[in-house]
A and B are shown apart, each in its own frame.
Chain A
């Protein structure tokens, strides 16, 4: 077992690759009451086209998420209840890029870990159970469709991307999931839930050797090999639509304004891009930027306003959004400021302060086991090491930020998505 040390932030990770190809990372935290385990596959809403046994498969939108729901079913019942009866709080999520299952518990950690590893690695679906889940997920889809934040985000993605599958909703639609059968789920599980395509991250008062021994004991001795997937045609630099608008039952207009950036290939560069993207967004319109103060004073944004950088394999974009009575005015001022910074450069003192702030916030974020484990899993899939952020910050310059913001000045790279109130709602 290897020990990865991160002295600047007082962390260490134990790392082992099991014989079946699974990477395991353990972060010992002896002073905490709880332990946390996160078991994830490099498979998300974007992965609808893949190769299994030499044959390409196209699956309906929403399969990864549907599969996540059904994985909790076991031959004897439901793993959710098994974990809950030990006092563990289990849950799972599916994002564009990954599906993760996790629990936190204060008692019977080893037993809980066994349950987690078993239910995620042993599929158990029947035609009836798939049929029933269609009703439950259809309800979930209707619920998120009522959520204006979700709508404004999905519309943004559809506006930004012409081909990239990040433009498809992770949950799919009521229509798309109606085509899912138990066979679809088995195929996807066989393809993506193989140890080489997964990672296990644990934090808490645990013995690293024990975690690996349990994973060795429960998981299949051999995986089904490397995953081949297809994200479709190359994404052009220009957006699909510069403006996407809709109306919903909201009180104030909500918006997301984003700029599509060139994608970054797998490797440490992904971490660098994430840190740089966040810094550039902060320099442009973060809380200590001159533009933020001005927008706030004009009453155009409030404290819900947020900005940053979001990344998935094959896609990177900087975004800024929140509530505003005049989203177009906010977007216009952001574009103007990006162009100014691209011309004149970012203020040196502001940049140094932002780096200090970003470092401190990242370190504070490590209070959360979820941040440690999910961050580690995500960056492992991306070919980077999340906890090397202090060293990575050292390599990022003000000129890097300036170059990135120059892209925001190019109108065909940006999309503004707005959800307007319906008439009579205010």
Chain B
């Protein structure tokens, strides 16, 4: 059985450790968590990639790769994620469990030491980041921002979020915007880095077979050089609860063969912190979260209006977002049918099979989460950022108790805020 232990290693620096012998790897996460803001988003987003380029001890990528290879092909990957209105700057690392090291080597400590070295002791030039690394990664960041257009489904959802939350921090992209990215210099990034190291909430994660004492000791040693600050940031999210009387409508034309219809609803302030959250999870599953949901069964299967139609929750922001791929001329029909299905939920037209099926899927997803180190890391990062300690199993138990009436009541509180439609260029003419 696995055991989850949460420890405050230093003030504002927390370790969530899942101890289990069922994996073949040790998994480490290190995240700096900070509030999303227009002024800092791009600089923050650039940081993990610049740090990944090299440390004082491993000054270039080839040296880092060579250390990783010697540790049996370990991986340390930079990433940026958005949890509601919090920006998380992450390193995720996976290394072979000591049990499978052919010569009985200990891999945990050297792996963790490489990870913390990259995060805390970057290669510098005249006391700040190397110009070459900052400029190279800045160009990559700008490419990454532009490349978001390549996946049209993801792009339509990003555009929906931007339009819907244009006056809220949620409307800011996790990578920031291109103009801010272009303005970053080695000096400005270095200052930002120093501020983050001192003020950001630090969330560390471990999952693997090592004993709790060994893990805590290894993390304490590896991260001992973090600046001491008893008042690290506790970022918060604004759950704006009112949708406009008339939904906003935004339309955009690109050269594509398939249209994308995205719709954003406000949950009346219900988020991951609330008593009604499990009912909201079930509503989303019944409405559009699964392959037996109303959107899938009706909009896709019965009416063949689209190739896909599904909904997801932004649990840290109180949003339910619908995403669908349609033929351009079916826009109105698809939009109306999606809303008709939501109305059916509001009227309580939810069969026992639909409700129980949805419940089984959501609970299964929570249980299987414990079979994946990456998913556990993401789950616990979100919980930590939100200041919640509920385990997946505890949440699953709350889900088991939700009644149909509670789901219907929550459905009545959903309000359409924004409709975004990505159409083809020909259709625009």
By a beta-carbon cutoff of 8 Å, the part of chain A in contact with chain B is 8-10, 29, 31-34, 78, 80-81, 84-90, 104-107, 132, 135-136, 139-140, 142-143, 145-149, 248-252, 254, 287-288, 290, 292-293, 296-297, 299, 302-303, 323, 353-354, 356-361, 363-364, 366-367, 369, 422, 425-426
Contact = CB atoms under 8 A, between A and B. Distances in A.
A297 B136 contact: yes
B187 interface: no
Interface in B1-57: 1, 20-25, 49
Contact of A107 (B68, B72, B304, B364): B364
Nearest to B2: A31
Interface stretch (B92-100, B161-169, B219-227): B92-100
B221 to A, nearest CB: 23
Given A360-B72, A363-B96, A81 B149 contact: no
A358 B69 CA distance: 8
A80 B144 CA distance: 36
Contacts of A88: 364
Nearest to A364: B25
B416 to A, nearest CB: 25
A132 B303 CA distance: 10
Given A142-B257, A363-B96, A288 B69 contact: yes
A418 B360 CA distance: 45
Contacts of B373: 367
Nearest to A302: B140
A9 B100 contact: yes
Contact of B363 (A80, A87, A143, A147): A87
B389 interface: no
A73 to B, nearest CB: 11
A354 B70 CA distance: 8
A29 B23 CA distance: 10
Interface of B: 1, 20-25, 49, 60-62, 65-66, 68-75, 78, 94-96, 99-100, 102, 132, 136, 139-140, 143-144, 146-147, 149-152, 254-258, 290-292, 297, 300-301, 304, 306-307, 325, 327, 353, 356-357, 359-361, 363-365, 367-368, 370-373
A89 B72 contact: no
B149 A249 contact: yes
Specify which of B73, B136, B353, B373 lies most central, judged by the most chain A CB atoms within 10 Å of its CB.
B73
A363 B361 contact: no
B94 A364 contact: yes
B307 A354 contact: no
Contacts of B307: 136, 139-140, 142-143
B24 A367 contact: yes
Contacts of A106: 363-364, 367-368
A288 B152 contact: no
Contacts of B150: 148-149, 249-251, 254
A408 to B, nearest CB: 21
Contacts of A360: 71-74, 95-96, 100
A29 B258 contact: no
A421 to B, nearest CB: 9
B360 A107 contact: yes
A297 B370 contact: no
A290 B373 CA distance: 32
Contacts of B291: 80-81, 84, 90
Contacts of B72: 356-357, 359-361, 363
26 contacts: A34-B367, A80-B292, A81-B292, A81-B357, A87-B363, A87-B364, A88-B364, A106-B364, A107-B360, A132-B304, A136-B307, A139-B307, A143-B257, A249-B255, A250-B150, A252-B147, A288-B68, A292-B65, A297-B136, A323-B143, A356-B72, A357-B69, A360-B71, A360-B72, A364-B73, A369-B371
B258 A142 contact: yes
Given A81-B357, A363-B72, 12 more contacts: A84-B357, A87-B359, A89-B361, A89-B364, A139-B306, A140-B307, A146-B256, A254-B150, A357-B68, A361-B75, A364-B25, A364-B95
B125 to A, nearest CB: 15
Contacts of B356: 85
Nearest to B149: A251
B20 A85 contact: no
Contact of B258 (A86, A135, A146, A250): A146
A353 B70 contact: yes
Nearest to B369: A33
A135 B255 contact: no
B368 A367 contact: no
Nearest to B137: A302
B140 A288 contact: no
Nearest to B364: A87
A140 B272 CA distance: 34
Contacts of B21: 31
A78 to B, nearest CB: 8
Nearest to A31: B22
A250 B147 contact: yes
Given A29-B22, A107-B360, A250 B149 contact: yes
Nearest to A368: B372
A290 B61 CA distance: 10
